[in-house]
């Protein structure tokens, strides 16, 4: 498969990294030669210094030989034009990043008329993820799978005596859950039953959604759990706008703090039943005047990672039960868990997950990048042609970095063990380390002679 990415920003780079790991041929086009030079130092892609709207360049690169073009430059209109040109020149599929809220109601028309196969909106998808977390009745959130029947969450065990110092196999009342990974001091550990948990480990747990809700109580001692009624959003940009709109539609009271006066006026005109405050959201006195302590949730959604993280932390110290921070710098991922903020969302990871799901297509239901992009959770619907259906998991010899976290069979959620069996039509949720993505790709798109066929043949002793 050949993919061209136009735009070497954070999304373009992250997408290129992910695709290269799946042995996909990637061409990255950008007009900034210095950025491309840095990318060439750590990503094995073909880089081209040029404009994506240059028809001559597209022809020179033989765009008609590409299976997919992803346009993720800074401009919505530029991305639209690039996709249209590529499609007319013979590229099989195109994806455009379009972020402007004014285009929301016209996306179907734009896709049809401009030859765009898929549109991604990082800010809108981030707002949806924030809304989903806020409307949950527990204080930790990673993702839902199997139409909400399965949930995977991150828990910082802190000094919790029910977990610290214990081997996973010895945890009490933990049947029905599976710890897929442990984050410890910035490193990822794939555990087994004899792995000992340590203070401040972050465990990534998968289980039935109802059971996960009960498990979360163990990590919320002393927290007054209640429904969200009042939310303060710091930052009235695209994420803040989308989130405020969705929350008010859910009958939640929303206050938006925005420093730009003209933007405040725009928000006041476009958002009904939202209190828009013109002021500096980093001014704690302003937040106190606007009753920060009475808020059920605080969301840092400006374009500055440091401000979002700092003010979410300040809100937490002020007694706000749920805090969210938007961030985009990958190197912040390792320190966020130590700050005490329940959720930090990266629009780049969310969008890259969306695109990966589209690229993999077919039976792939969802893809979620986790652990700073070092791992991912993929949900697929099992086809009839997989060589290992009807066989116990213990006999498959799966690589250590791939864990089948849940199986949904005939509507029933099964947290598997070695004796569990996968059947055609089942939904399975798979955790995979980034280094094992090539194997995961073979798992999602099996074929005769593929790696899982080899694993199964080896297990049967035929090779």
Residue 326 φ/ψ region, left for φ over 0, alpha for ψ in the -120 to 50 degree band, beta for the rest: beta
Contact 14, 348 (CB under 8 A): yes
- pLDDT on residue 459: 41
CB atoms within 10 A of CB 97: 25
Residues 312 and 361 in one domain: no
The answer as to whether 70 is a domain residue is yes
CB atoms within 10 A of CB 317: 10
Q: Are residues 365 and 444 in the same domain?
A: yes
Kindly state whether residue 183 falls inside one of the protein's structural domains: no
Residues 241 and 283 in one domain: yes
Task: Please give the angle made by the CA atoms of 55, 57 and 59, to the nearest 5 degrees.
Answer: 70
Rg (CA), the chain: 23
Q: Are residues 15 and 74 in the same domain?
A: yes
179 in any annotated domain? no
User: Which domain-ending residue is among 317, 345, 373?
Assistant: 345
Strand order in the sheet with 343-345: 274-278, 253-258, 230-234, 297-300, 322-326, 343-345
Among 320, 345, 370, residue at a domain's last position: 345
Q: Is 217 part of any domain? A: no
Domain of 113: which CATH number? 3.40.50.720
Final residue in a domain of this structure, among 298, 327, 345: 345
Residue 302 maps to a domain: yes
178, 415 Cβ separation under 8 angstroms: yes
Residues 6+ away with beta carbon under 8 Å from 138: 153, 212, 213, 216, 217, 220, 225
Per DSSP, the three-state class of 138 is coil
Contact 407, 420 (CB under 8 A): yes
Q: Would you state the pLDDT for residue 324?
A: 92
Number of other residues whose CB lies within 10 A of the CB of residue 75: 16
On whether residue 219 sits in a domain, the answer given is: no
Residues 18, 77 share a domain? yes
Whether the CB-CB separation of 306 and 330 falls below 8 Å is answered with: no
Nearest CA-CA partner of 73 in 55, 51, 91: 51
Q: Where are the alpha helices (DSSP H) in 117-254?
A: 122-134, 209-217, 238-249
Report d(CA 133, CA 450) in Å as an integer. 38
Angle at 385 between CA 382 and CA 388, to 5 degrees: 75
3-state secondary structure of 434: helix
For position 107, what pLDDT does the model report?
84
- 12: which 2 tokens? 């373009």
Do 455 and 361 have their domain in common?
yes
Instruction: Please indicate, yes or no, if residue 263 is contained in any of the structural domains.
Output: yes
Q: Could you tell me the CATH number of the domain that includes residue 436?
A: 3.30.70.1450
Same-domain check for residues 358 and 451: yes
Do residue 281 and residue 365 come from a single domain?
A: no
Q: What is the pLDDT of residue 146?
A: 81
Q: Say how many Å lie between the first and final Cα of the chain, rounded.
A: 30
18 and 66 both lie in a single domain: yes
User: So what's the pLDDT on residue 457?
Assistant: 47
Distance, CA of 259 to CA of 317 (rounded, Å): 23
Q: How far apart are CA 362 and CA 447, in angstroms?
A: 14
Alpha carbons 84 and 107: distance in angstroms, whole number? 14
> Is 149 part of any domain?
no
Please state the pTM of the whole predicted model.
0.82
**Residue pLDDT tens, the chain, 463 long:** 899 999 999 999 999 998 988 778 999 999 999 999 999 998 999 999 999 999 999 999 999 999 999 999 999 999 999 999 999 999 999 999 999 888 877 888 888 888 899 999 999 999 998 998 888 755 555 667 888 888 888 887 878 888 899 999 998 888 888 998 888 877 788 888 899 999 888 888 998 888 887 777 666 654 445 678 999 999 999 999 999 999 999 999 999 999 999 999 999 999 999 999 999 999 999 999 999 999 999 999 999 999 999 999 999 899 898 899 999 887 777 677 667 677 889 999 999 999 988 988 777 888 888 776 788 888 888 887 766 688 888 887 777 888 888 999 998 999 988 899 999 889 999 888 888 877 777 665 554 444 444 443 444 444 4
Structural domain of residue 326, as residue ranges?
A: 126-133+227-345
62 lies in the same domain as 38 = yes
339 plus 420 within the same structural domain: no
Is there a single domain that holds both residue 246 and residue 320? yes
Instruction: State how many domains the chain has.
Output: 3
């Amino acid at each position: 498969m050949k993919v061209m990415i136009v735009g070497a920003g954070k999304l373009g780079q992250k997408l290129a990294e992910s695709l290269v790991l799946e042995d996909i041929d990637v061409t990255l086009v950008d007009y900034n030669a210095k950025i491309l030079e840095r990318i060439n130092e750590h990503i094995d892609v073909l880089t081209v210094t040029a404009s994506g709207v240059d028809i001559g360049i597209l022809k020179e690169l033989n765009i008609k030989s590409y299976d997919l073009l992803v346009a993720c430059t800074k401009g919505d209109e530029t991305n639209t034009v690039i996709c249209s040109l590529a499609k007319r020149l013979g590229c099989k599929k195109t994806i455009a990043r379009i972020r402007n809220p004014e285009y929301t109601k016209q996306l179907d028309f734009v896709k049809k008329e401009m030859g765009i196969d898929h549109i991604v909106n990082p800010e809108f998808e981030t707002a949806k993820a924030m809304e989903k977390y806020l409307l949950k009745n527990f204080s930790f959130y990673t993702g839902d799978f199997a139409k909400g029947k399965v949930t995977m969450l991150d828990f910082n065990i802190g000094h919790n005596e029910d977990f610290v110092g214990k081997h996973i196999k010895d945890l009490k009342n933990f049947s029905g859950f599976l710890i897929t990974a442990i984050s410890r001091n910035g490193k990822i550990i794939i555990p087994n039953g004899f792995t000992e948990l340590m203070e401040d480990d972050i465990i990534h747990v998968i289980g039935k959604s109802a059971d996960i809700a009960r498990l979360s109580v163990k990590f919320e001692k002393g927290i007054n759990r209640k429904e969200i009624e009042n939310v303060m959003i710091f930052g009235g940009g695209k994420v803040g706008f989308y989130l405020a709109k969705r929350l008010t539609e859910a009958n939640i009271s929303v206050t938006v703090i925005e420093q730009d006066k003209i933007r405040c006026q725009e928000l006041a005109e476009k958002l009904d039943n939202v209190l828009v405050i013109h002021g500096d959201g980093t001014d704690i006195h302003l937040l106190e005047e606007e009753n920060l302590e009475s808020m059920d949730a605080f969301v840092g959604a400006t374009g500055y990672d440091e401000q979002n993280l700092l003010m979410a932390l300040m809100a937490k110290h002020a007694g706000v039960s749920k805090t969210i921070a938007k961030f985009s710098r990958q190197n912040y991922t390792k320190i966020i868990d130590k700050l005490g903020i329940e959720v930090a969302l990266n629009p780049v990871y969310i969008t890259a997950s969306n695109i990966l799901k589209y690229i993999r297509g077919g039976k792939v239901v969802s893809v979620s990048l986790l652990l700073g992009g070092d791992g991912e959770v993929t949900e697929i619907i099992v086809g009839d042609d997989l060589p290992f259906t009807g066989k116990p998991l213990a006999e498959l010899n799966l690589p250590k970095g791939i864990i089948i976290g849940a199986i949904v069979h005939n509507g029933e959620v099964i947290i598997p063990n070695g004796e569990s069996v996968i059947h055609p039509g089942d939904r399975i949720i798979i955790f995979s380390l980034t280094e094992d993505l090539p194997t995961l790709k073979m798992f999602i798109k099996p074929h005769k002679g593929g790696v899982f066929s080899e694993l199964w043949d080896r297990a049967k002793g035929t090779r």
